[in-house]
Structure 1
Amino acid sequence: MQNIRKRKFRKKPIIIEAYQTDKEIIINTMEGPLKASPGDWIITGVNGEQYPCKPDIFKKTYEPIEDE
């Protein structure tokens, strides 16, 4: 059996752009098409990719910043 040593990591602080959709839409992600429901956030990642995120996860993961 392999000796596995778990370590802790912190997500790098990056700035993303996102908007909250008010209708059901299909987002073409790198993993294939995903359905976004009303209220989901549509995030644009660091490489321009888009993906939906449920509001409760978005709130736990992101916080607003002041415009620069």
Structure 2
Amino acid sequence: MTIRKYRKTATIKAEQFTGEPEQVFKYGMFPSVDNCANEFQYFLPTKEGDMRINLDDWIATGEKGEHWAIKDDIFKQTYELVEDQEMKKEEKAVTPVVKRVKEEKADLDEKIRKLKTFLNDDEKLSSIGKEQVNLLRCQLETMEKYSDILWSRIDDLKGW
């Protein structure tokens, strides 16, 4: 027989047990006193019967509304917050966008550098006429504004 690895795929809702009266009431728990330790013990009603639950354990709620207790260390090893998984998916989706925008900005900045070099060459400028020089300066200004916009997009996308 071959041993294989398995992963839990069920999505649950869970909250950490704090012993607050609202929680005790919400889940229909009943406390009893442990005479040896002189402290309250809490029991969570489950489908299998009453289950002892300690402070900091987790109360899991299944898809059918059933509840059970999970020790804190086991819960942390077994479950991952769904929002974390969704955020990782979003990060994966955003990463290619950031990469593309960075590449676009790098290409644009290279073109800006070349245009500036051209506009600083008086010999080349004298051969194209004043109107073309004015249009090229307007083009450079627009390209620099566009580069700034791309920088803002990159900065904003990093925050995702």
For normalisation by structure 2, the TM-score amounts to 0.36
4+ residue runs of structure 1 moved beyond 2 angstroms? none
- Over the aligned positions, Cα root-mean-square deviation in angstroms equals 2.1
Equivalent in the alignment of 1:22: 18
Superposition deviation, residue 29 in structure 1: 1.2
Over the matched positions of the two proteins, sequence identity in percent amounts to: 39
In structure 2, do the counterparts of structure 1 residues 66 and 36 end up closer, same or farther at CA, with 3 Å as the change threshold?
same
Deviation readout 1:14-63 (Å, 9 max, x if unpaired): 21100111125321112110111110100012332100000000000001
In structure 2, do the counterparts of structure 1 residues 53 and 7 end up closer, same or farther at CA, with 3 Å as the change threshold?
same
**Separation of aligned partners in 2, 1:43 and 1:63:** 13
More helix by share: 2
Largest Rg, 1 or 2:
2
- Does 2:51 correspond to 1:34? yes
Any gaps of 5 or more consecutive residues in structure 2?
20-40, 87-160
Task: Work out which structure has the larger RCO, using CA pairs closer than 8 Å and 6 or more positions apart in sequence.
Answer: 1
SS of structure 1 residue aligned to 2:63: coil
For normalisation by structure 1, the TM-score amounts to 0.76
Equivalent in the alignment of 1:57: 74
